[in-house]
Amino acid sequence: MRTALTIAGSDSGGGAGIEADLKTFASFGVHGLVAVTAVTAQNTLEVRAIHGVPPEVVAGQIEAVVEDIGVDAAKTGMLGNGAIVRTVAEAVEKYSFPLVVDPVMVATSGRALLEEDAVEVLKNRLIPLASVVTPNVPEAERLTGIEIKGLEDARRAARFIVEELGAGAAVVKGGHLRLNEAVDVLYHNGRYREYRGPLLRGCTHGTGCSFSAAITANLALGRPLEKSVREAKRFVTMGIRYGIPLGHGPCPVNQNAWRDVPALRWRIYEELSLVMEKVGDNAILACSPPMPYGADRENVAVLRNGRITFGAPEDIFDLLLREAKKKPGTRCLLLLEGKPIFGTSAREVLERAGLESRR
């Protein structure tokens, strides 16, 4: 099994940091390893306290997992101070694993997570060792001194990080840009690539950690960098779309969506396949996955005239969604000669309609 190491801080709210990284690694089928740099007391609203781990303990964690288990790729997140940055750089030089540097400087809530004097150490010691660096716009501005207002500025910053700071590649994430879509700019091997996705404003806590962790997991699996970035973009977009509201601040991205959605769609397909012969030409049966996935029309399957298709018609989807909001647990709708019958499963609605005994 492939392994990926996260060298970062712990988020007691479970939305970012090593908690987000480990969930991301697991979503790609990669075994996660950990070197904790700091313990934080935080939630979706604020970072209340930070306790840094001594550099020698950080080094010991890295050494322990490398020497026994092995590391196929690693990433950094919150490093906290210059001493830890130097320690990590020394470990990368010693063990030579592919490294993704997520230059975490400020928490979503606004709390500083990297001491000011550590930024120069990051630029001079760690970034030159990175396979790829993944700053957001404010981080890229701090690293390069370039004011980023649009895509051309993002391209200049990505190129600067590679050609002036010495990274192997750089992805400037575009979530902070005032565009109609989220555009991430990669500079690698002397050329640019843009990764575009919808600009989603839902649950975004932990998106940066999850993005860099997804790249790391894909690199650990042996995939090329450009494909790894593409998969990471898809992963984070899906995680935001299916974010689960938790807390009273920015809610966390849903890393589980990457595996949940295809698995749940397959289960629904099987569920409808088992009752196909009992649904006549005068009936339509639709089933959805549980929330939050059931709120997406593309995840709702419809059995009609012996065929199963995903992407329910809007009228059927609206009927099912309204009932699910009124009665949580409702997943299926049978339209029998125009009359709606709701239930928690395909078999239940067929029983209510008197069709379960049909052969």
| 337, amino acid identity | E
Catalytic residue (one of 134, 204, 237, 330): 204
Catalytic residue (one of 52, 175, 206, 343): 206
- Looking up tokens 């470990």, which residue turns up? 91
CB 109 within 8 A of CB 17: no
204 part of the active site: yes
CB 102 within 8 A of CB 139: no
Coil/strand/helix, residue 310: strand
Catalytic residue (one of 209, 251, 287, 332): 209
Catalytic residue (one of 23, 75, 123, 173): 173
Dist CA 137 CA 145 (whole Å): 11
Catalytic residue (one of 76, 207, 216, 330): 207
287 part of the active site: no
Catalytic residue (one of 168, 174, 197, 208): 208
Dist CA 185 CA 182 (whole Å): 10
207 part of the active site: yes
330 part of the active site: no
354 part of the active site: no
CB 205 within 8 A of CB 108: yes
Collect all residues with Cβ–Cβ distance below 8 Å to 321 and sequence separation of at least 6: 288, 294, 295
CB 17 within 8 A of CB 79: no
What residues are labeled active site? Answer: 173, 204, 206-209
